[in-house]
């Protein structure tokens, strides 16, 4: 049923709490799928004022450094998820987070997304916003959203 699972990660412990769920699902599917760990690095120009006074070379160097750090982070996450029979790939993208994730879903035949969400509601959601919620609303494939109570380690 699921051949390509995407797990978006932002570097937080909360985001990583879905890794055991992705691994458990992969075991149930008997290793017939691929898991892509994806990190989107927004370019500096998306942060208002972040590039003010920076020469283009310095801005490019900082963006390249952000991509390098993201690659190293994903490699570590992939190493923790890596089990016999599970194919794990990593991908670092640059741009608007939700747009890039939806483009990755489309371009790579992803058929399930597993992500963590804070589960905020009401006024806290209004102020904090939610990348997870925006992806859930715009995704063209099923999304398994895991809230913090579900982020404890799965029983064996």
Q: Would you say residue 13 lies in a domain? A: yes
- In this predicted model, which residue has the larger pLDDT, 63 or 1? 63
Q: Would you say residue 156 lies in a domain? A: no
Q: Would you say residue 99 lies in a domain? A: yes
Give the chain's domain count.
1
Cα separation values, 23 from 19, 35, 88, 130, Å:
6, 9, 10, 25
**pLDDT for the residue numbered 122:** 44
Where residue 149 falls among pLDDT bands split at 50, 70, 90?
Answer: low
Distance between CA 105 and CA 107 in Å, rounded?
A: 6
**pLDDT for the residue numbered 123:** 42
Average pLDDT over residues 115-138: 67
Where residue 85 falls among pLDDT bands split at 50, 70, 90?
Answer: confident
Average pLDDT over residues 53-80: 89
Q: Which domain holds residue 91?
A: 4-151
Tell me, what CATH number does 134's domain have?
3.40.50.620
Q: Give me the helices (H) in the chain, please.
A: 13-16, 19-28, 56-81, 97-107, 122-128, 131-138
Where residue 155 falls among pLDDT bands split at 50, 70, 90?
Answer: very low
pLDDT tens digits for 40-62?
998 776 454 555 567 878 888 88
Q: Would you say residue 56 lies in a domain? A: yes
What tokens were used for 37? 């760990």
Where residue 67 falls among pLDDT bands split at 50, 70, 90?
Answer: very high
Q: Which helix (H) or strand (E) holds 133?
A: helix 131-138
pLDDT tens digits for 130-142?
788 899 999 999 9
CA 146 to chain centre: 13
- In this predicted model, which residue has the larger pLDDT, 101 or 129? 101
What tokens were used for 75? 């490699």
């Amino acid at each position: 049923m699921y051949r390509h699972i995407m797990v978006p990660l932002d570097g937080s412990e909360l985001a990583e709490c879905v890794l055991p769920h992705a691994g458990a699902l992969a075991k149930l599917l008997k290793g017939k799928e691929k898991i892509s760990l994806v990190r989107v690095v927004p370019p500096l120009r998306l942060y208002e004022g972040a590039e003010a006074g920076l020469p283009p070379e310095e801005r490019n160097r900082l963006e390249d450094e952000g991509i390098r750090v993201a690659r190293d982070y994903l490699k570590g996450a992939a190493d923790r998820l890596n089990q016999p029979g599970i194919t794990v790939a990593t991908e670092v993208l640059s741009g608007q987070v939700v747009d890039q994730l939806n483009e990755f879903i489309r371009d790579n035949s992803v058929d399930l997304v597993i992500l963590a969400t804070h589960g905020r509601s009401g006024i806290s959601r209004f102020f904090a916003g939610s990348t997870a919620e925006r992806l859930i609303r715009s995704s063209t494939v099923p999304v398994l959203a895991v809230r913090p109570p579900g982020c404890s380690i799965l029983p064996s």
